[in-house]
Amino acid sequence: MIALRAEGLSLGYDGAPVVSGVDLAIEPGELFAVAGASGCGKSTLLRAFAGLLPPRAGTLLAGDEPVRGTSPDRALVFQDDALLPWRTARRNVELPLAIRGVPRSERRARAAEWLARVGLAGQERRLPGQLSGGMRQRVQLARTLAGAPRAVLMDEPFGALDAQTRAAMQRLLIEVRDASPATVVFVTHDVDEALLLGDRVAVLAPDGVRDLVDVPHPRDVDARGAPEVAAARTRILTALEPVLEAEPCAPRP
Ligand SMILES: Nc1ncnc2c1ncn2[C@@H]1O[C@H](COP(=O)(O)OP(=O)(O)OP(=O)(O)O)[C@@H](O)[C@H]1O
């Protein structure tokens, strides 16, 4: 588990910055949710934490080290599963083990164990194209966690799933993370998902973090109707509203 920190962070591509003035301190082992309007830089922030996009200004730290590139310690999970279509489920999960230098003889067993943990025992030999969207996301989760990353960066990982599969994946994430702790940064459009999964929720806007909300009773499905959870939802929506109203969420001059 690793701390992730941004100080005065500015990010962008060509032209004007997409997001600037971002200050965040994510604790080791925290499940940190990032909400924000479409196009406000949530994916861009994750890409920077993953080491795929250098800061234009400010500081980005993983532990005490500046983020200078990608690392198996920081794994990125996408909405569209990024499985290799020609490799079976098991051989996809073996990939990060190979990167970590796990001997070939051990990889197969460890990959099969991970697939069983995400409810896919018996599906090891299937190709991604032979699996449903929810099953592919399970394989992706198994593949990510098999590499024992210290931080997992999840970009709307369940956004493409139907409501029932999505709820099952949320439960699965809670379970497997309890067993294999890692710092998790979770980007979502869905305020209720942020409130269910996160310890804290950051509302991101082009000029930085608009609000940082502590979640009451994180990961407690039974607490969803509690008044303090409703108050946290209202606070997040209040911070989001001006960002949503300021369509399009265009880069600042
Ligand atoms: N590779 C790229 N090159 C140039 N501009 C980009 C690139 N990727 C994203 N952008 C721009 O950066 C801005 C922020 O995009 P980003 O994907 O980070 O937003 P987001 O908050 O994750 O949006 P969404 O919720 O819709 O996924 C947008 O204006 C987008 O067009």
Examine the pLDDT at 252 and tell me if it is beyond 50: no
Task: Give the span between the Cα atoms of 120 and 107, in whole angstroms.
Answer: 17
Task: Give the span between the Cα atoms of 18 and 146, in whole angstroms.
Answer: 33
ipTM: 0.96
Find all residues with CB under 8 Å of 130, minimum gap 6, and list them. Answer: none
Cβ–ligand 1 distance for 41 under 6 Å, the answer yes
Average pLDDT over every residue of 15-25: 92
Cβ–ligand 1 distance for 13 under 6 Å, the answer yes
Residue nearest atom 20 of ligand 1, based on CA coordinates: 39
pLDDT-based confidence at residue 15 (cuts at 50, 70, 90) = confident
The pLDDT tens digits of the residues spanning 33-46 come to 999 888 889 999 99
Give the ligand 1 atom nearest the CA of 41.
Answer: 18
Structure tokens at 144: 């990510």
The pLDDT tens digits of the residues spanning 203-233 come to 999 999 999 999 998 888 888 888 999 999 9
Q: What integer best gives the mean pLDDT of the chain?
A: 90
Task: Kindly give the distance from the C-alpha atom of residue 139 to the centroid of ligand 1, in angstroms, as a whole number.
Answer: 26
For 86-236, strand residue ranges (E) read 151-155, 183-187, 200-205, 208-214
The pLDDT tens digits of the residues spanning 188-205 come to 989 999 999 999 999 999
Give the ligand 1 atom nearest the CA of 251.
Answer: 29
Task: Kindly give the distance from the C-alpha atom of residue 18 to the centroid of ligand 1, in angstroms, as a whole number.
Answer: 8
Average pLDDT over every residue of 150-165: 88
Task: Give the span between the Cα atoms of 212 and 139, in whole angstroms.
Answer: 32
Task: Kindly give the distance from the C-alpha atom of residue 13 to the centroid of ligand 1, in angstroms, as a whole number.
Answer: 9
**In this structure, how many other beta carbons lie within 10 angstroms of the beta carbon of residue 23?**
15
Average pLDDT over every residue of 177-193: 89
The pLDDT tens digits of the residues spanning 137-151 come to 889 989 998 888 999
Cβ–ligand 1 distance for 188 under 6 Å, the answer no
What is the pairing mode between strands 183-187 and 31-36? parallel
The pLDDT tens digits of the residues spanning 63-99 come to 999 999 999 899 998 877 789 999 999 999 999 899 8
Give the residue from 45, 53, 56, 52 showing the smallest Cα distance to 5: 45
pLDDT-based confidence at residue 248 (cuts at 50, 70, 90) = low
Give the ligand 1 atom nearest the CA of 47.
Answer: 18
Best substitution site from 11, 20, 42 to test ligand 1's pocket, by max atoms within 8 Å of Cβ?
A: 42
Cβ–ligand 1 distance for 44 under 6 Å, the answer yes
